[in-house]
Amino acid sequence: MDLQRLLATNYILQCFAVFFDPGLGPEAALRHTLRLINLAREKILTLPQVHWVKQAADLDAGKDKLLAMLSVEGADFIASDMFLIELVHNMGVRLITLTWNGRNSLGDGVKVEGGGGLTRFGRKAVKAMQDLNIIVDVSHLGERGFWDVAAAAEKPFVASHSNAWALCRHPRNLKDRQIREISRQGGLIGVNLCPAFIAPSRENQTLDALVRHISHIAAVGGIDCLCLGSDLDGITALPLGMEDVREMSQLPGLLEAAGFSPTEIEAICSANLIRFLRENLE
């Protein structure tokens, strides 16, 4: 993935995620997060071909530009200081993935055995984020934490890069009850290109199989909760038949072959996400 290939594939919006190794500890995570936010501001978000989305009005940039949102994957940098949520908001962050796979001050990720859900501080952090119009992201959060967010959230939340557990029983994927809850609350699910989230065996890790995840999520939660999460800045392998982001151009044809209408395909590929951002980045 790079800017030239994103533009060549007619991408409308890309979310650029700041990620750090949680094993470094909160102090190092904070320094690393701030450094990467600054780097993104200097090297990506101010490019003439890019329009940085920080509020709903920014979605109306010229069609020749790539819309770009800044996010943080894993809130380890916050530690116990709620002010840091406001700080990264002031720096332009508009989505925060609450945990990575492990434990932080907000809650437990999917790889914490017997995960304990959100902490009391985590519940306060969710409210603080939503008060600032930072989108709360439950991808990587453990299942108990998911339901804690569902109970605490006053605005819709997202699973920005997760697939359907019913089709591939990976801990990062969503069970049907979770899909229905995100949909019920007006949230979004961004399907993920990570091969291990699509199918257990390599020969089945294809874009056709990803379309089956899309069909399942649509059947369980409805078309309106679907978008493309991709995880292109995080994964180390792609589905079979994909060399880079440009192969995403196959997806509309595959969705049509699976029985989706032109209106539904547009909703999945862009319209749902743009609508959600208009409603939640006021």
Expressed in percent and rounded to 5, the helix, strand and coil fractions of the chain are 45, 15, 35
Which positions ≥6 away from 58 have C-beta within 8 Å?
51, 52, 67, 281
Task: Tell whether 132 and 2 lie within a shared domain.
Answer: yes
197-215 confidence digits (pLDDT tens): 999 999 999 999 999 999 9
Number of domains in the chain: 2
Mean pLDDT across the stretch 240-255?
A: 96
Task: Tell whether 125 and 191 lie within a shared domain.
Answer: no
- Cβ–Cβ < 8 Å for 170, 161: no
Mean pLDDT across the stretch 141-165?
A: 98
Task: Tell whether 2 and 134 lie within a shared domain.
Answer: yes
Residue 67's DSSP bridge partners are 13, 51
2-42 confidence digits (pLDDT tens): 999 999 999 999 999 999 988 889 999 999 999 999 999 99
Task: Tell whether 139 and 167 lie within a shared domain.
Answer: no
Q: Of the candidates 134, 150, 166, which is a domain's last residue?
A: 150
Task: Tell whether 102 and 242 lie within a shared domain.
Answer: no
State the pLDDT at residue 22.
87
Task: Tell whether 37 and 96 lie within a shared domain.
Answer: yes
Task: Tell whether 104 and 209 lie within a shared domain.
Answer: no
* Domain containing residue 6: 1-150
State the pLDDT at residue 101.
96
Task: Tell whether 130 and 8 lie within a shared domain.
Answer: yes
CA distances from 237 to 194, 218, 230 (A): 7, 26, 12
User: Sorting pLDDT into bands at 50, 70 and 90, what band is 119?
Assistant: very high
Backbone angles phi, psi at 157, to 5 degrees: -125, 170
Task: Tell whether 134 and 61 lie within a shared domain.
Answer: yes
Read off the pTM. 0.97
CATH number at residue 17: 3.20.20.140
Q: Of the candidates 98, 132, 150, which is a domain's last residue?
A: 150
- Cβ–Cβ < 8 Å for 200, 160: no
State the pLDDT at residue 187.
98
Q: Of the candidates 105, 133, 150, which is a domain's last residue?
A: 150
Task: Tell whether 143 and 165 lie within a shared domain.
Answer: no
User: Sorting pLDDT into bands at 50, 70 and 90, what band is 223?
Assistant: very high
Task: Tell whether 234 and 140 lie within a shared domain.
Answer: no
- Cβ–Cβ < 8 Å for 191, 159: no
Task: Tell whether 36 and 139 lie within a shared domain.
Answer: yes
